[in-house]
Amino acid sequence: DSPDHKKKFVFIFICFSVHTFYKKKKLLSLSTGKAEIGDRTRSQKKKRKKERRKKKMRKKIVIMKEKNNDKKRMMKKRKIEKRENRKEKEKKKKMKKEREKRKKIIILKTTAVNNKQRVQIHQTHILLIFILPLCVFPFFLSRFIVTKACNVVQAALNAEYEQNGTLAKILGYNKNKGEAIAN
For residue 39, pLDDT beyond 70: no
pLDDT of 183: 34
Q: Is residue 123 part of a domain?
A: yes
pLDDT of 55: 93
Whole-prediction pTM: 0.32
For residue 49, pLDDT beyond 80: yes
Q: Is residue 12 part of a domain?
A: no
pLDDT of 37: 47
**Helix extents (H) in the chain:** 3-32, 42-126, 132-163, 166-171
What is the mean predicted confidence (pLDDT) over 107-126?
75
Handedness of CA 88, 90, 93, 95 (dihedral sign): negative
pLDDT of 78: 94
Count of structural domains, the chain = 1
pLDDT of 181: 44
Range of the domain at 91: 39-180
Q: Is residue 85 part of a domain?
A: yes
